[in-house]
Structure 1
């Protein structure tokens, strides 16, 4: 039986925060691929509020013990939405050039160690801005910042030769997804929104190819 182990590394969208089912898109995605001849292990390594540099600092130490020698080990990355958050009184959380530098280091290192896929950042939740994710912290989002970073990440992926899935563009035109951002915890999509992300990733040839090996 094939022993496929996948670490999903990223922020709250990897974690599935706000989903009333607790599955997020990674849980739904893997549930669709479970079969009798596949031992599929999913590791959720998403941490709320983390920026690209923070994820880059921890990914290897968290993946290494979960991806043992002899298994079919893979990594899926998603990050960036917290980089574009505007913190009241402080400004943008991470400058664009810093986001790109951290992303290049993270993605290159992951791809050198394991087969790696990169899922792009989602649309910014402008409808519910400003938000208060924790006591004393207020953040807002501008859609144009998220669009710009998504485009820069897409260009970087092409330069590095890493498969990148732009989920932002189709989701911005998806009324059901945008409506899902105003429900649940009003910071993330609810279950319906995560299901829309799942559909996009599940239809991605780069993801499907992992199950044809």
Structure 2
């Protein structure tokens, strides 16, 4: 029987932070793929607030601890939203050029080791900015920064020949998704928003191909 192991590596959107059902998009996505025909194990390796460099620093040990020899081991990445966060008093967490440079090294590392998919960063939650995720911390997110980074990530993915799913375009055009950003914890989308993300990725040919590859 096929032993499929998938590590979802990234930040709070991988974690599903703000979802009242505690499923996020990865739980909903993998639920649809449950079958007795093979074993599917998925691992939530999303940590809230992490920038790309922080995600990169831990990905290998986190994945290797969950990937046994002989299994069909794969990785899905999503990161970047925290890079564009502007902290009051200090500015943007990671400048655009630095994010892209780090992403190139990071994605190359992962793709050299395992079959890899890359999900783009979601739209910025401008409606609820500035946010106060913890005491003494105020952070704002701007859509122009999210769009610029997404465009460069998309181009980079083509260069690296790694499938990339652009979330920005369909979600920005979806009024229900944008409204979901103002509910829940008012920092992330609520469960309806995560369900929309899962619906989009579930129809992605690159994701579907993983389940046709028996």
TM-score, reference length from structure 1: 0.99
- Structure 1 runs of 4+ with >6 Å offset: none
Residues 1:39 and 2:39 are matched in the alignment: yes
Match of 1:67, SS state, is coil
Separation (CA, whole Å) in 2 of partners of 1:102 and 1:82: 14
Question: Which whole-Å deviations, capped at 9, do the CAs of 1:122-148 have from their partners, x for residues lacking one?
Answer: 000000000000111000011000000
**What stretches of structure 1 of length at least 5 have no aligned partner?**
none
Query: Structure 2, unaligned stretches of length 5 or more?
Result: none
1:80-127 CA distances to partner (integer Å, 9 max, x unpaired)?
000000000111110111101111111000000000000000000000
Task: Return the offset for 1:68.
Answer: 1.2
The answer to whether the aligner puts 1:151 opposite 2:151 as a matched pair is: yes
Taking only aligned residues, the RMSD between alpha carbons, in angstroms, comes to 0.5
SS of 2:132's equivalent in the other structure is: strand
How many pairs align?
213
1:59 paired with 2:59, answer yes
Shift of the alpha carbon at 1:65?
1.3
Cα distance, 1:38 vs structure 2: 1.6
Q: Distance in 2 between matches of 1:167 and 1:98?
A: 21
SS in 2 for 1:66: coil
C-alpha distance in 1 between matches for 2:151 and 2:67: 31
TM-score, length basis structure 2 = 0.99
